[in-house]
């Protein structure tokens, strides 16, 4: 009976170690994405990532309609 309990403990310890190493390996393999700069729409004030914004000069807009409403001066 004690041999069976010892075997179960060894198997559980091995499983726990393997599970821990897998988690560490997965965390190291995936690089974190760099945060993107947020800008505000000059028309409505909405915050959005700079990559999704429409720029006109030094101003940013959330959509083409808001850029158009700002006028030709941008």
pLDDT digits (tens, 9 = 90+) for 3-59: 999 999 999 999 998 888 777 666 566 677 889 999 999 999 999 999 999 999 999
| Calpha distance 53→37 (Å, rounded) | 11
By three-state DSSP, how is residue 6 classified?
helix
CB contact at 8 A, 7 and 33:
no
Secondary structure percentages of the chain, helix, strand, coil, to 5: 50, 15, 35
Domain residue ranges of the chain, discontinuous segments joined by +: 1-31, 38-69
**pLDDT on residue 21:** 77
């Amino acid at each position: 009976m004690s041999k069976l309990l010892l075997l179960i403990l060894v198997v559980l310890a091995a499983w726990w170690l393997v599970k821990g190493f897998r988690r560490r390996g997965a965390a190291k393999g995936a690089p974190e994405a760099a945060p993107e700069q947020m800008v505000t729409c000059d028309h409505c004030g909405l915050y959005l990532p700079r990559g999704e914004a429409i720029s006109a000069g030094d101003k940013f807009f959330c959509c083409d309609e808001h850029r158009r409403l700002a006028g030709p001066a941008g």
